[in-house]
Chains A and B, each alone.
Chain A
Amino acid sequence: MKEQTLSAPRKERVVKARQRWNMRRNWSLHIMLLPAVLLAIVFQYIPMGGIVIAFQDFKPYLGFTGSKWVGWDNFKYLFLYPDVGQVIWNTLLIAFFKIVAGLIAPFLFAILLNEVRLTAFKRVSQTLVYLPHFLSWVILGGILLDILSPQGGMVNQLIVALGGKPIFFLGDGTWFRVTLIVSDVWKEFGFGTIVFLASLSGINPALYEAAEVDGANRFKQTLHITIPALMPITIVLMTLSIGNILNAGFDQVFNLYNPLVYDKGDIIDTFVYRLGILNGKMSFATAVGLFKSVVATILIVISYRMAYKLANYRVF
């Protein structure tokens, strides 16, 4: 090792010297990281330790040490509890359609927007469609409650004007699911186009010129140049979304649902909240949450690896 250093070219020695010099001064880098490390320990790692209550019959007045240990009972209960199967199925179903529709809509919108050559139109359109992304589900929930109301909400007025019957969007289980998916796409499709538009702007214009010379019309150009150019990022987004299959959107469901649609609209996160915080079944709720967390983490790790293998994309 030492001989190598001596025989190495001068440049490398300079680099090594600088590294040593850096190392001596690195104590300040550790100090800079201290607040973040403390925050992560207190607010992330300590709650991770708190999942022991999933294996206890936790009573707040007895604490972690005083509560009775029950082993895997909460998890056994998880598969026996009548609603859990339905709740998991609701979660998967709603999340799946949200992911699929949430990929297709921005994909198509970006392609269509790419055909717009009036810059002003393009900019105004982008400004409008990005906006709902920044509003919270509390605000949007309030708006949806108003416009979807069966007693003369805007949407139902339109349906009646077109000769239909008013629909109780938030009171009927099946319509509730449709409302969740459509309103989620409505909120997020605009923002989702950003990443596709970024890819589109990276396409070499020479490709289109060459296709033009070869006699391809715009539709064929889209088919053979634009869409293939979007494929890598689409594959990345698709694989990364696997990790979201258990996230059906707590904020949205919580702000739109009501006891009428619990059977078809209740998802894991809302179930955990009602059970743990409202009904005080803290141990069981934590067990359900832990089950979800573990499955989700495994899926995320798999999806990140797949994204790297399929599209050479690194998240971190």
Chain B
Amino acid sequence: MYYKTKGYRLFSIFNYTFLGILSLLCILPIVHILAVSFSSMAPASANLVGFWPKGFTTDAYVKTFGNSNFIDSLLVSVKRTVLATAIGMFVMLITAFPLSKEDLSFKGRSIYTWFFVFTILFSGGLIPSYILIQKLGLMDTIWALVLPGALSVWNVILMMNFFRGLPKEMEEAAYLDGAGHFKTLMLVYIPLSMPAIATLSLFTMVGQWNSWFDGMIYMSDVKNYPLASLLQTIIVQQDLSKINVDPSMLENVSQRTVRAAQIFIGALPILMIYPFLQRFFVKGIVIGAVKE
């Protein structure tokens, strides 16, 4: 067998080492940030912290949560994530179901499909969308963050392909028993699609939690910023003018450990749902996307 040869064993040693290093490279920067966030100020500013906290303290987290802007933003993020995922999944399911029908049994299906697919290919762009949100009076409301993305055509296509993979006999049996389309969707399709729905919900949640740009342009008051947008302004732009807090607070914000704590809190929900996400996504993506 090939793997018993000397050359292959040598290759294996190299291979395991190389892949091991690459894998660690993906996680070490996050470990470093975590270590900095739990270190005390002096070793952190002197760049003495590696991958383990020096002078362990939770000061940075206490300060972070002592900032009322931060708590407000956290709540906005939670709210938008919950709302957008619930609405997004509902819209996706009721849209994917009709589109999963055959052209013959649902006249107009292909017109609808092209109507939606065109929005993937072409868009009005940033400025017209911005003017629209202004004109609709959605500025500084949670709906500016939820509604524009409520219809994800990509998700609809994935879900549609999943529905098409379900056995036709189930659907026919439901119709023969007198169920209408709504009942068939609710009682047959949705229960059979729970793994796919779970996968897409998790992806939507991640997308919503991470979304920062819409918050920055559609919210004029920092109170309404979702967490990702707030982090963008205070960590990346280091723009402290937008945060109206007392000067001692400003001192804290500019500290490296506090920045690290904020970064880590921003990443934490993703890290927490990641194990669930990973269990589903390989299967989910392959089911929906790879067509043979």
Encode contact with A along B249-274: 1 for CB under 8 Å, 0 otherwise: 00000001001101100110011001
Is there an interface contact between B290 and A316, defined as CB atoms closer than 8 Å?
Answer: no
Chain B residues near A273: list those with CB within 8 A: 126
A39 to B155, CA, bound (A): 15
Residue A103 CB within 8 A of the other chain: no
Is there an interface contact between A136 and B105, defined as CB atoms closer than 8 Å?
Answer: no
Residue A190 CB within 8 A of the other chain: yes
Chain B residues near A135: list those with CB within 8 A: 30, 210, 267, 270
Stretch in A1-9, A87-95, A115-123 touching the partner: A115-123
CB distance from B31 to the nearest CB of A (A): 11
CB distance from A173 to the nearest CB of B (A): 19
Is there an interface contact between A19 and B98, defined as CB atoms closer than 8 Å?
Answer: no
- Taking beta carbons and an 8 Å cutoff, which residues of A are in contact with B? 18-19, 22-23, 25-26, 28-30, 32-33, 35-37, 39-40, 42-51, 53, 60, 109, 112-113, 115-118, 121, 124-125, 127-132, 134-136, 138-139, 141-147, 151-154, 157, 186, 190, 194-195, 198, 212, 217-218, 221, 250-251, 254-256, 269, 272-273, 276-277, 282, 285-286, 289-290, 292-293, 297, 300-301, 313-314, 316
Cross-chain pairs A/B with CB under 8 angstroms, 12 sampled: A35-B151, A43-B129, A46-B132, A134-B274, A136-B228, A142-B235, A143-B263, A145-B236, A146-B32, A151-B47, A277-B130, A277-B217
> Which of A116, A152, A190, A276 contacts B15, CB < 8 Å?
A116
Is there an interface contact between A44 and B180, defined as CB atoms closer than 8 Å?
Answer: no
Count A-B contacts at CB 8 Å: 262
Chain A residues near B26: list those with CB within 8 A: 128-129, 131-132, 186, 190
CB distance from A146 to the nearest CB of B (A): 7
A169 to B5, CA, bound (A): 44
Is there an interface contact between A218 and B147, defined as CB atoms closer than 8 Å?
Answer: no
A230 to B50, CA, bound (A): 40
Instruction: Name the residue of chain A whose CB is nearest to the CB of B230.
Output: A138
> Which of B97, B134, B282 contacts A32, CB < 8 Å?
B97
Chain B residues near A121: list those with CB within 8 A: 16, 19-20
Is there an interface contact between B126 and A289, defined as CB atoms closer than 8 Å?
Answer: yes
> Which of A118, A128, A289, A314 contacts B291, CB < 8 Å?
A314
Interface size range of chain B in the complex: 35 or more
Is there an interface contact between B132 and A115, defined as CB atoms closer than 8 Å?
Answer: no
Residue B145 CB within 8 A of the other chain: no
> Which of B113, B131, B185, B206 contacts A50, CB < 8 Å?
B131
> Which of B127, B129, B210 contacts A138, CB < 8 Å?
B210
Chain B residues near A151: list those with CB within 8 A: 47
Instruction: Name the residue of chain A whose CB is nearest to the CB of B50.
Output: A154
Is there an interface contact between B19 and A113, defined as CB atoms closer than 8 Å?
Answer: yes
Encode contact with A along B100-128: 1 for CB under 8 Å, 0 otherwise: 01001111100011011101011111111
Instruction: Name the residue of chain B whose CB is nearest to the CB of A212.
Output: B2
CB distance from A183 to the nearest CB of B (A): 10
Chain B residues near A129: list those with CB within 8 A: 22-23, 26
> Which of A44, A147, A250 contacts B124, CB < 8 Å?
A44
A256 to B236, CA, bound (A): 7
Chain B residues near A127: list those with CB within 8 A: 278
Chain B residues near A109: list those with CB within 8 A: 19, 22
> Which of B2, B22, B157, B271 contacts A217, CB < 8 Å?
B2
Q: Give me 17 other A-B pairs in contact (C-beta within 8 A), A29-B98, A51-B124, A145-B236 excluded.
A: A22-B106, A26-B181, A39-B147, A40-B119, A47-B124, A50-B127, A130-B278, A134-B206, A134-B277, A138-B235, A138-B236, A139-B263, A151-B47, A250-B213, A289-B126, A293-B122, A297-B122
Residue B25 CB within 8 A of the other chain: yes
Residue B167 CB within 8 A of the other chain: no
Interface-central residue, B19, B97, B148, by most chain A CB under 10 Å:
B19
